Amino acid sequence: MLKSLNLAVRAAMVVGALGLVAGCSNVTPEQLSAVEAKASEALSKANSASTTASEAMKTASMAAEAAKAAQASADAAQACCNDNKSRLDAMFEKAMRK
């Protein structure tokens, strides 16, 4: 997805520049430079967004791993609790039989 966004921005830059040069014969070099600057800025922002998205994905993966570890710990604690309850119940029943 990130590569396709990057490719789309680059394609838009090329098409825009070619459209201005080919379609409008009265475009001044200053106008063309302004368009190129805006296209370059758009590409820079797209690259920044791509980097941010990659970092967010990494953070989300780390959070998912932490959640799995927490669930495993909670499951182990619950199993221990269930085992202790069973032993206490057995001890109580044994004491009540006497």
26 backbone dihedrals φ, ψ, rounded to 5°: -105, 25
Task: Give CA–CA dist 98/96, Å, rounded.
Answer: 6
For the chain, what is the domain count? 1
Q: Is-above-0.85 flag for pTM?
A: no
Domain that holds residue 51: 2-97
* Digit-coded pLDDT (tens) for 16-71: 666 655 655 688 989 999 999 999 999 999 999 999 999 999 999 999 999 999 99
